[in-house]
Structure 1
Amino acid sequence: MPHPTPYPVRLADEITRQLGQLAEHLSQLPPHEAAQVVARVLDPDDGVLGGVTRLVAAGSVFAKVQAESGVLPAELWLALGRASNELDAIGRDLDEHCAILRHVSTEPATTTAKPPAPAPLVVRRRR
């Protein structure tokens, strides 16, 4: 008799599937809606990035206990700890930009006579 897939594994698979759907939708949304979605994803408390960070941190705690008992290698625990710390730092770096995204997402779409000037994405140093 096959062993049924545990609920948490099915949940992880479903979340992964839904994240893929969200990425597909994001590429097709109008700018103000896309900004709203990205702002929610990046929200450090209630967003996807914060949730993934907490999940990796929980995985690190699990791996530490298992590494201390010799079941998992200590390198795995250390790698998960580093990943958790890096995700947290990335979240803090992006948090300052969430206000801009929220502002863009609440502005009504207007047709202006002069479109906004594009920002240069590469800054060149003068010699």
Structure 2
Amino acid sequence: MSHLAPIPVRLADEITRQLGQLADHLSQLPPSQAAQVIARVLDPDHGVLGGVTHLVATGSVFAKDQAERGALPAEVWLALGRAANELDDIVLDLDEHKDTLHRVGAQPATAAAKRPAPAPLVVRRHR
């Protein structure tokens, strides 16, 4: 009889597999559908990125507790805390572009008759 992984471990493996599938599909979608998918993934409240950020923050709380007990090095807690903070910053940076993604995603495929003007790919960040 084979040893089955605990349910949360299997869930993490399944989510990882599905994210790979989503990335594969995304690379083949027409622009409007790809924009819809990206907008949903990046949604700070209900999207994948927001969920991953919450998961890492929860992991940081766990690691802090374990570090205080001596079961984990403090560096693990600090690294998870930094990762959670950086992901949160990324979510905030990307949130300002969600309206654009929704607008592009709402355009019908036939609206591409007028080709959009190319944009320079080097842009200065503003905060």
Cα distance in 2 for partners of 1:53, 1:27 equals 24
Amino acid in the other structure paired with 1:90: I
Q: What corresponds to 1:73 in structure 2?
A: 73
Q: What corresponds to 1:91 in structure 2?
A: 91
Cα distance in 2 for partners of 1:30, 1:81 equals 37
Cα distance in 2 for partners of 1:2, 1:102 equals 46
Q: What corresponds to 1:57 in structure 2?
A: 57
Q: 1:107 to 1:12 in 2, by over 3 A?
A: same
The 3-state SS of whatever aligns with 2:97 is: helix
Q: What corresponds to 1:42 in structure 2?
A: 42
Cα distance in 2 for partners of 1:44, 1:116 equals 28
Q: 1:96 to 1:48 in 2, by over 3 A?
A: same
Shift of 1:2: 5.4
Q: What corresponds to 1:9 in structure 2?
A: 9
- RMSD between aligned residues: 1.3
Cα distance in 1 for partners of 2:91, 2:26 equals 20
Shift of 1:117: 1.3
Deviations 1:15-74 (Å, cap 9, x if unpaired)? 000000000000000000000000000000000000000000000000000000000000
Normalised TM-score (structure 2): 0.91
Percentage of pairs with the same residue: 75
Deviations 1:54-99 (Å, cap 9, x if unpaired)? 0000000000000000000000000000000000000000001011
Cα distance in 1 for partners of 2:4, 2:19 equals 24
Normalised TM-score (structure 1): 0.91
Shift of 1:4: 2.7
Larger radius of gyration: 1
Q: Aligned runs of 1:97-116 on 2, under 5 Å? A: 97-109=97-109, 110-112=111-113, 114-116=114-116
Deviating above 6 A after TM superposition, structure 1's stretches of 4 or more consecutive aligned residues are: none
The 3-state SS of whatever aligns with 1:15 is: helix
